[in-house]
Amino acid sequence: MAYSSYYREDPDAPLPNLIGTSDAMKAVYRMTRRVARSNASVLLLGETGTGKELIAKAIHHLSPRGSGPFVRVNCGALSESLLESELFGHVRGSFTGAISNRTGRFEAAHTGTIFLDEINSTTPKLQVKLLRVLQEREFERVGDTQTIHVDTRLIAASNTELMAEVEARRFREDLYYRLNVVPIHLPPLRQRREDVPQLVAHFLEYYNETNDRYVVHIEPAAMEALQAYDWPGNVRELQNYVERAVVMAEGDELTRELLPDVVLGRSPPRVSRIRSVDLETLAYELVQHGVQKAGPQEDGLYTKIVNRVERELIVQVMHECNNIQIKAAARLGINRNTLRKKLQEYHLDL
């Protein structure tokens, strides 16, 4: 995919491999083009499945580093020791199994870009080393004393609110501000429902070709159901359901009955993960106070914190559902009467 022409065209035009013309996505395209030509660190924020890696690749390819390497590391997939070795490399004999020297991902990304996905998963020890790389552009391999200098741009991504992690003391504040030079927020699919038809058409074309099928029509009732669903798994979830429909279709039409029960409202919807400073901090309180193991003397603390979490959750879900109680109740997995009772109990005039 050639990226050079994407400098000259409409700044609101979609970037390669990204689908959508909603106002929310146009804002993402504009910000991506604007930051691409700089060397600033970028922090991509958004729920799982919103396309953070695609934006990271676009930033890299549109930047002066576009001809250099693009290296991706999923920080949440490895333990601390393995991730440290993966990022910074190691020398022979530095630990059991280190039978030879190994170049780390930061070295591999020299003159290019390194993309650290799920950076919220890193430990305090690794965060110190990451901060040094950002500030000094240098590090040592595991088990070595020789300092290595690199010229690498860092793009990080998180599917949780990093400021909540900072306030909960799970993420270093100084590293957060070094990463958060230019934040780009990727909207969840439920906030850009007008993009669903374009996404469905794109995935239909792709899976028709890969499966040698010919599902080229979409039943209006099916599209209506797809646009009404909240998509807790975002674009990745939509992609999965379209692929399944193409494989299962007996004719040339994607019908409503080819969609899973959760999309059709036949089974309780999965509530999307709420990402809020208050909720994350309150959850941390639960762990810190050990209320999951609380005795009778701590029941009051447990009830107080759980009520605060529940109240905040209801406020957020009601907001996301435009204060439509029947819809909010469905997302919360409770009936409307229970929700109404909770609203009265917490004195919420929503």
State pLDDT tens for residues 224-254.
999 999 999 999 999 999 999 999 999 999 9
Burial 100-123 (b: 16+ CB within 10 A, else e): eebebbbbbbbebbbbbbbbbbbe
* Residue 110 pLDDT: 95
Start and end residues for every CATH 3.40.50.300 domain found in the chain: 4-185
CA distance 287 to 205: 47
- Look at residue 280 and tell me whether its pLDDT is greater than 50: no
Percentage of residues in the chain having pLDDT higher than 70: 84
Q: What is the mean pLDDT of residues 9-23?
A: 88
Place 6 in a pLDDT band, splitting at 50, 70 and 90: low
- Residue-averaged pLDDT of the chain: 85
Backbone angles phi and psi of 211, in degrees to 5: -110, 5
pLDDT tens figures, 287-343: 444 444 444 444 565 566 677 777 878 887 887 777 788 778 777 777 777 888 888
Start and end residues for every CATH 1.10.10.60 domain found in the chain: 277-345
- Look at residue 276 and tell me whether its pLDDT is greater than 50: no
pLDDT tens figures, 41-51: 999 999 999 99
* Residue 281 pLDDT: 47
CA distance 300 to 279: 19
Q: Which of 156-160, 257-261, 330-334 has the lowest mean pLDDT?
A: 330-334
CA distance 214 to 11: 34
* Residue 9 pLDDT: 65
pLDDT tens figures, 173-229: 999 999 999 999 999 999 999 999 999 999 999 999 999 999 999 999 999 999 999
Place 270 in a pLDDT band, splitting at 50, 70 and 90: low
* Residue 26 pLDDT: 95
> Quick one: 277-345 is in which CATH superfamily?
Homeodomain-like (1.10.10.60)
* Residue 98 pLDDT: 62
CB 135 within 8 A of CB 178: yes
Q: Which of 64-68, 118-122, 152-156, 330-334 has the lowest mean pLDDT?
A: 330-334
Residue 44, beta-bridge partner list: 157, 184
* Residue 153 pLDDT: 96
- Look at residue 279 and tell me whether its pLDDT is greater than 70: no
Place 34 in a pLDDT band, splitting at 50, 70 and 90: very high
Q: Which of 29-33, 86-90, 109-113, 265-269 has the lowest mean pLDDT?
A: 265-269
User: Per the structure block, which two tokens stand in for 16?
Assistant: 């390669």
Place 7 in a pLDDT band, splitting at 50, 70 and 90: low
CB 318 within 8 A of CB 274: no
The CATH T-level fold of domain 4-185 is Rossmann fold (3.40.50)
HSE of 192, CA atoms in CB hemisphere, 13 A: 21
CA distance 64 to 203: 32
CA distance 284 to 306: 12
Looking at per-residue confidence, does 146 or 92 come out higher? 146
The CATH T-level fold of domain 189-264 is Helicase, Ruva Protein; domain 3 (1.10.8)
